[in-house]
Structure 1
Amino acid sequence: MNQKHQEDLMHIRSMMERSSRFISLSGLSGVFAGLSALIGGLYACQLLEKEGVGYFESNEVEFSHDLILQLIIIGLLIFVSALGFGILFTVRKSKKNDLPIWTSTTKKMLFNLAIPLVAGGVFCLALLYHQFFVLVAPVTLIFYGLALVNAEKYTFSDIKYLGFCEILIGCISLFYLGYGLLFWIFGFGILHIFYGLVMFKKYK
């Protein structure tokens, strides 16, 4: 009898979790997002070296308009790639587990995720406009971390730990501006891959 009660409680708990949290996120999304950032970040390093920009030698770096445009394109390609992999693996996992994707919980999670991301995006555009290029990498890390922490209550709680790490790395990189790109590669690339593998193993 006690075993039946425990099974019923576990079933009720599972139903409540499904209705209140978006649990279709796949760890593979994090892995491939990290790989996209890692490849894109390393390519950006090579591009800077090719253009003769001493990014790691000084806080005062001059970028040509063509170089800025190329870096923006690289950033957009990384974003589109990460987003595409996220959608692909999320849809695949939801179908596998017979879970709906577009629910009120999904909308709440995306809304809470979008607030810091949009604010951070506008802030980064302002930094680019005023030519504070060395601050872009730390700012993207910090606002992305804030977005993850803000969206945590509508998905896996583990995501907040990734958010805290991103915020911490971003804050540290503020004091090492010449190495912001390396911190960015570590935060968006390596940390994402590690987090994705842990999540995949835990929730597969």
Structure 2
Amino acid sequence: MSGTRRGLLIILSSPSGAGKSTLARRLRDWDPDIVFSISATTRAPRPGEVDGREYHFSDEATFKQMVDDGEMLEHAFVFGNFYGSPRKPVEKAFESGQDVLFDIDWQGAQQIANSTLDTHTLSIFLLPPSIAALKSRLEARGQDDAATIARRMEKSWDEISHWDSYDYVLVNDDLDTTEAQLKTIITATRLRRKQQPDLVEHVRGLQAEFKDLT
């Protein structure tokens, strides 16, 4: 589809543990036209993480300089570290007709919504089926200690409270069902008139044919 439509900026947000990272991976496996926006962060790499793959790891001074220079499409301070989306690779992918997928929180979503790319943005929020299920998923991941899980749970309601600022909201009770819903939403949004710049030329061709008939 690249080259025949404008790209989308697909924002996927949720409280930690609601499944957005897993669903983001599934969407990328589903369609190679979906590329992941690799965020920059000032946090230290976790075991197995590679610079430029999971994140662009940066020191705080470099990160802040990128913000000052307008090189971040969005940025936020979360759990003691800065996170942000470098602007240039996003714009390059978007202009080539690829969809750019963002795994970001509500702060970043609002910044993109206020940017010049807003009209080509699709925002989706994932709700957990229950708070108990959310905590259980965080514990099952085995990535964080008890104190970190407690902080994430405290922040979860702040994330959830912004659910109504998104285009679509899904309750992620079952990964397969939610994945199918996401694919339907993305497929339909790609067909919006403003995502198809070639339609203008096509309609002009139809108009010319109609004039030839009359």
TM-score class, shorter: under 0.3
Considering fraction of residues, name the structure with more strand: 2
TM-score, normalised via structure 2 length:
0.26
Given the two structures, how large is their TM-score scaled by the length of structure 1? 0.27
Q: Which structure carries more helix by proportion?
A: 1
